[in-house]
Structure 1
Amino acid sequence: MLTVPPDGDVARIATLRVRLAHRLARHLRTSPAVLAPATPLVSFTFDDAPVCACTVGADMLDASGAKGTFYISGGLIDTRALHWRTADEARIAALHAAGHEIGSHTYSHVFVPNLGPDAIAAESRRNDERLRTIVPGLALESFAFPYGFGSISAKRALSGLYRTSRGIVPGINVGRTDLHFLRANPLMDGHLDIEGIAGLMDAACACNGWLIFYGHDVVDDPSPYGCSPALLEAALRAASDRGIPCVSVAEGLRRSL
């Protein structure tokens, strides 16, 4: 099992075997579906649940009438990482109470390509149990690959546990799609600017597609994996200007099938 800080750059140390397995997972559909939403859709997702994402980010979504998806690793709850502190149980419960979706991210934030199907299923079930101690009866429909790396065996194992798995390969989800490798675009100041956001929104409108953004912290001086409130506001405004609903991943799937 590869050990990397939750906010570390695993791409620099992934082996050739891992990269090949990830590439194969991108191209071989294990849960094919045809997505055809009646209108374009946008989903804002946040990995690891930094406190600022669960407060500043969630408040901004709420003010815009949007609901997001927060992928949480139970073993990281209320801990300190390199760039942020993760939310505690009270903040996670508040997210759910406000109508945001809680998704799974494995219990230990493990590097999925190095796990067999039994191990990834055990990690996921342990995480689900932990999250349900915070929100009893929580329905967990959505998963995100820690660090964005997947594998065929992981996708097959996850298909029995969740309705979707989200990666970090850019694109728009429409037409023939693998539900266990949803495409997502980085909402990060170092990767995307206002013009880029506008281009993605226009592309989603042109094809009636489902556009997913992912990030981590939401703070004025974000980590390399997060965004400033100004960038999030620009994305919310771009969606509003085009009349695009901003929905959770679970709701996006329901509107797309």
Structure 2
Amino acid sequence: MSAFIDKMRRRAGRYLDVRPVAVRPSRGTLSLSFDDIPESAWTEAGPVLDAHGVKATYYVCGGLERGINLGLRQFTTEHLQALFAAGHEVGCHTFGHVSTLTLSPAELEADLARNAAWVAERLDGHVMTTFAYPFGDCALTSKTVIDGRFLCGRGVRDGVNVGRADRALLQAIGLESRRLPGYDLEALVQQAADQKGWLIAYGHDVGDRPTPYGCTVADLDRLLTLAKAADLDIQPVARAWSRMA
């Protein structure tokens, strides 16, 4: 019964209390994002991004620093400072990497405030303006909190944001080995180009043997190559958001 209730709560967050925003960039857009920030999301993905001359969004949980998650070493403060100095966006992923399904609005506010203070202390007062839901879990009650604190929130429901989107729960595709075989990346990129949509991709680790939630360097390079060939505007989430209207 509890599993069924959780499933219904996830669906409620996805489809109820939609906070509409127009998606009308001057041309199709791609945003790359990395959740949790495993070490390899910077040490392996960073050089690929640099070679393509693009910036990504890194969604950080302060509580994961120097820890192990999914069997992977996580980022250090030095990694976070280096990617921020390189011009990449740092966004919020909660402090404790916790599902919003398990938190009251007050508890979520407290966790977000803790992460905000943790990041500001390490990144010279940086204020995070975009959010990604851990596990893609969006409780209906969390949307008001996220909408009040951030420009936008990103989920994990597949699709390209076209025409009209939910600013508290934007659609995205998983740059993950468990999901990539099921996507037609060429078609998704072309849809973003043809319909002037916003394609957001999220991943975790990057390496030769990625977890089910990560990808290879070749996967990352392929998506960027396709996006450039389709003349997509490749921007971090916050910068892309500023170009939507």
Range into which the TM-score falls when normalised by the shorter chain = over 0.9
Q: Identity of aligned pairs, percent? A: 34
1:61-120 residue CA offsets vs partner (Å, 9 max, x unmatched): 121111101111000011122331111001101111111000111111111112111111
1:151-194 residue CA offsets vs partner (Å, 9 max, x unmatched): 12101111111111111000111222111101010111232149
Residue 30 (structure 1) shift? 4.1
Alignment partner, residue 84 of structure 1: 72
1:117-146 residue CA offsets vs partner (Å, 9 max, x unmatched): 111111111001111111022021111110
| Structure-to-structure mapping, 1:1-257, within 5 angstroms | 15-193=3-181, 196-257=184-245
CA–CA separation in structure 2 for the residues paired with 1:20 and 1:194: 24
CA–CA separation in structure 1 for the residues paired with 2:115 and 2:144: 18
Greater CA deviation, 54-63 or 229-238?
54-63
1:185-229 residue CA offsets vs partner (Å, 9 max, x unmatched): 011123214972111101111211000001100001000000000
CA–CA separation in structure 2 for the residues paired with 1:197 and 1:167: 19
User: Does structure 2 conserve the Cα–Cα contact (< 8 Å) formed by 1:41 and 1:244?
Assistant: yes
User: Does structure 2 conserve the Cα–Cα contact (< 8 Å) formed by 1:30 and 1:156?
Assistant: no
What's the RMSD between the two structures over aligned residues?
1.6
1:24-53 residue CA offsets vs partner (Å, 9 max, x unmatched): 111124422111111000011100001110
Structure-2-length-normalised TM-score: 0.96
Which consecutive unaligned segments of at least 5 residues does structure 1 have?
1-12
User: Does structure 1 conserve the Cα–Cα contact (< 8 Å) formed by 2:59 and 2:90?
Assistant: yes
User: Does structure 2 conserve the Cα–Cα contact (< 8 Å) formed by 1:194 and 1:231?
Assistant: no
User: Does structure 2 conserve the Cα–Cα contact (< 8 Å) formed by 1:194 and 1:235?
Assistant: no
Give the 3 Å change call, closer, same or farther, for CA 193–224 of structure 1 in structure 2: same
User: Does structure 2 conserve the Cα–Cα contact (< 8 Å) formed by 1:164 and 1:182?
Assistant: yes
Which consecutive unaligned segments of at least 5 residues does structure 2 have?
none
User: Does structure 2 conserve the Cα–Cα contact (< 8 Å) formed by 1:166 and 1:184?
Assistant: yes
Structure 2 letter corresponding to 1:16: F
CA–CA separation in structure 2 for the residues paired with 1:220 and 1:149: 28
Structure 2 letter corresponding to 1:200: L
